[in-house]
Structure 1
Amino acid sequence: MSSSKLRYLQLYDELSSSIKKQTFSPGDMLPTEAELCEKYNVSRPTVAKALNMLAKEKLVHRRSGFGTQVIGPGRTGLKAGLLIPQLQEIEIFEPICASLIESAGMEAMRVLRPTELSTNLEPKTMAELLTDRFIEEKVNGVFFTPVEHIPCQQDFNLQIIRRLREQNIEVVLLDRDVYPWPRQTPCDLIGIDNIEAGYVMCGHLIGLGCQNLAFVSAPNVAMTVELRRLGCREALVHNGLRARDLVDVEMLVDTPQKTARKLLDKKIDGIICANDVTAAPLLRALIDLGADIPSAIKVCGFDDVKYASLLSVPLTSYHQPCNDIGEVAAKVMLNRIKNPESPNCRISLNGRIIVRGSTSATSEE
């Protein structure tokens, strides 16, 4: 705990934050006073003051001989579920969900995140089981990231939404739509503008003097990747080049050296990878083949994952505002539950380029 505040205020801040982040959910019992004294090395009167402050804010209920029970802000009883089958696979979803859960807790809504389901399940099976669970739990809303790379994925995702809506469960989409652009699912959607992201990233490379650009992606790409590619082509046109000048190169996941060699043979000087997961092995392969990065070839990606700055040549990447996405999504869900007839909204938040050594000798962290 920080030393700049009185001890009971420090403890209050710690416990209040844990409740709002739903580390302690409504109905949970807080540790006993004796346990809190031992954990935080404070006196019993200090613990009592902190707990009394929580009780006055109606975050907990204290009863002699029973203990201190979390009741959550507002006690509205609202519940929402996270239906993100690829939560463990895509790094950006973790900070988005953490922010979403904290923001929802501050607005008196509990977010359910079932943990007992095996992470080895196929995304389609996971989505079906989670849908069953949330219907059984009678949640008020579900945050849904449509499943990709499955047969008939559009029909499958629409069926998930129909099942939820038949039970009067509101749906807020995260990151992507069910339909391919420009068609839109009649649901709220929160994410980034992937066309704008591609436009900005391509413009960054053009501004650095790149003339022969390639867009590298794995086969069977996600819809968000297609939108990034579209944004890159728009940037070429707006800078006096031709959209068809963007070279599409398929990433050979098992043999990135072959992809790197192909790019070198084509004399590509600017590489835009669909995401950082694609960029990292490609960057390594280029270096192994003797590519001069960033002098001769510049490489960038999207998502700004944790390891992007730790690569042998730190990766320039488009940073997604994960905390803001989670916060806005929680507020949109609350509004949707309280005002189900209000018009659907599509909120695209702006990210930003984090310039590192893969495109410039001068990094901007």
Structure 2
Amino acid sequence: MRAEDSDQPKYKLIFDALRQGIASGEYKEGARLPSEGELSRRFAASRMTVVKAMRELQQQGLVVRRVGSGTYAAPQQGKGNGLFGLLIPELGETEIFEPICQGMAQFSHSRQHSLIWGNLNSGEKKEQIAEELCHQYIKRGVSGVFFAPLELTRSKDRVNHKILVALDRAQIPVVLLDRCVSPYPLRSRYDLVGVENRRTAYIATEHLINQGAKKIAFFAKELSASTVDARIAGYREALTTHRQNGTHDLAFRGEPSDDALVASILAKHKPDAFLAANDHTAANLMQSLMRLGRSIPDEIRIVGIDDVRYASLLPIPLTTQHQPCPQIGMVAMSTMLQRLESPDLPARDILLSCSLVVRESCGARLVK
């Protein structure tokens, strides 16, 4: 364990390093963790910063602190005692997962359950680290795993399958977060908690139509999760219902920051609006359109999905669909507990509704 350069707060670096050490077995059950003084020197941090990290570890049930003795890795909790692993490859990259995890932590803390937060922010090694973390959870004997399947990599399907097979063999229940591992409209045999993606995209598309858009394109990144296919289905359904776009299929996949690609879509298809698969895609697409000299929303309207923190801070504040992330987390934890109590229940999709947040990018006149 060593300190590394990061934009994260110093206490979070210390917290993540110790949490990963506990999850990996570097600090086994009952093992004494480095002293506050040692951690202060190792991370070039103040004692108060170290104490803050230790307090957060204690709140999550990962350590016990003994006055006059030190801090120790908490006893491992077996499958009947409510220790759950978070296997979320995009934690720290995709903004929705942090508040989802906070919702789970809030729910579990009130019921004496604990969460292990595995650190997967390692770029190209993400698939390998996801598999390693899965096996660490199995070795530790967690009660269940919350898994957000990998996306945006060519090996995602293979790695997702390997992870689920390993958890099945260990008889560890899984609740999927946000997305299914099966292509839309198929479903897997695991519980899934997320949002109504088809309905969400339908409403967003319908909103653009109501604002006067006549030719709406959909834009997503290559190798996206199955949620995007559901959103495309909702987009197409809205176009069919309102008889928009004629027979033209304007659903595109590619890199939204690729000016040449965006320019070719504009030249060939002449859309007057875009529904982006998510806010991150919408933000990159907005930048490309602005570099190409297009005025938003006067020439082209944009709507996203997620309502991330920066959506209102973009050059043109983004109209989007708000995901109820903390509630998703709380429902996911409730779903896991129900699965543990009744293992033979049929697999369920528990899909929450999004809410439309209207800002300037869609061209709507806001009522003050």
Shorter-chain TM-score: which interval? 0.7 to 0.9
CA contact (8 A) 2:239 2:245 kept: yes
Q: CA deviation at 1:86?
A: 1.9
Call closer, same or farther: CA 1:342–1:333 in 2, change over 3 Å. Answer: same
Residue 298 of structure 1 and its aligned partner are, at CA, apart by 0.8
CA drift of 1:314 comes to: 0.5
User: Could you tell me which residue of structure 2 aligns to residue 327 of structure 1?
Assistant: 330
Match of residue 190, structure 1, among 185, 193, 197: 193
- Contact in 2 for aligned 1:171/1:188 (Cα 8 Å): yes
Contact 2:90 2:121 in 1 (8 A): no
Q: For 1:274-313, what aligned pairs fall within 5 Å after superposition?
A: 274-313=277-316
Contact 2:196/2:352 (8 A) holds in 1: yes
Listed as ranges, the matches of 1:1-365 within 5 Å are 24-26=59-61, 28-29=63-64, 77-115=81-119, 119-120=122-123, 122-151=125-154, 153-241=156-244, 244-253=247-256, 255-256=258-259, 258-260=261-263, 262-263=265-266, 266-363=269-366
Q: CA deviation at 1:279?
A: 1.4
Spell out, residue by residue over 1:166-213, the C-alpha distance to the aligned partner (whole angstroms, 9 max, x if none). 212111111111111222111110001111111111111111111111
Q: How far does the alpha carbon of each residue in 1:224-268 deviate from its partner, in whole angstroms, 9 at most, with x for none?
A: 112111110000111133674341334444533651463266331
Deviation at 1:20, TM superposition (A): 12
Question: In the superposition, relative to structure 1, how do residues 94 and 118 fare at CA in structure 2: closer, same or farther (>3 Å)?
Answer: closer
Q: Aligned-residue CA RMSD in angstroms?
A: 3.2
**1:251–1:278 CA contact under 8 A, matched in 2:** no
Q: For 1:305-337, what per-residue CA distance to the aligned partner results, in whole angstroms no more than 9, with x for missing partners?
A: 211110111111111110110000010111111
Give distance in 2, aligned partners of 1:284 and 1:330: 38
1:21, 1:101 within 8 Å by CA — same for their partners in 2?
no
Q: In the alignment, is the contact (CA less than 8 A) between 1:214 and 1:247 conserved in 2?
A: yes
Q: Cα gap change, 1:141/1:126 in structure 2, threshold over 3 Å: closer, same or farther?
A: same
The answer as to whether partners of 1:212 and 1:245 remain within 8 angstroms in 2 is no
Q: By how many angstroms is 1:274 displaced?
A: 1.6
- Structure 2 residue matching 1:358: 3-state secondary structure: helix
Question: CA-to-partner distance for each residue in 1:10-41, whole Å, 9 max, x for gaps?
Answer: xxxxxxxx999876233645697xxxxxxxxx
SS of residue in 1 equivalent to 2:361: coil
Contact 2:102–2:329 (CA<8 Å) still a contact in 1?
A: yes
Query: Per the alignment, in what secondary structure is the counterpart of residue 122 of structure 1?
Result: helix
Segments of structure 2 that go 5 or more residues without pairing to the other structure are 1-52
Where 1:112 maps in the other structure, the secondary structure is strand
Separation in structure 2 between the aligned mates of residue 300 and residue 198 of structure 1, nearest angstrom: 10
Structure 1: unaligned runs, 5 residues or longer: 1-17, 33-64
- Sequence identity percentage: 35
| Residue identity in the other structure for 1:105 | H
CA contact (8 A) 2:179 2:227 kept: yes
Query: Number of paired residues?
Result: 313
Instruction: In structure 1, give the amino acid aligned to 2:99.
Output: P
Q: Aligned letter for 2:85?
A: G
Larger radius of gyration: 1
Shift of 1:123: 2.5
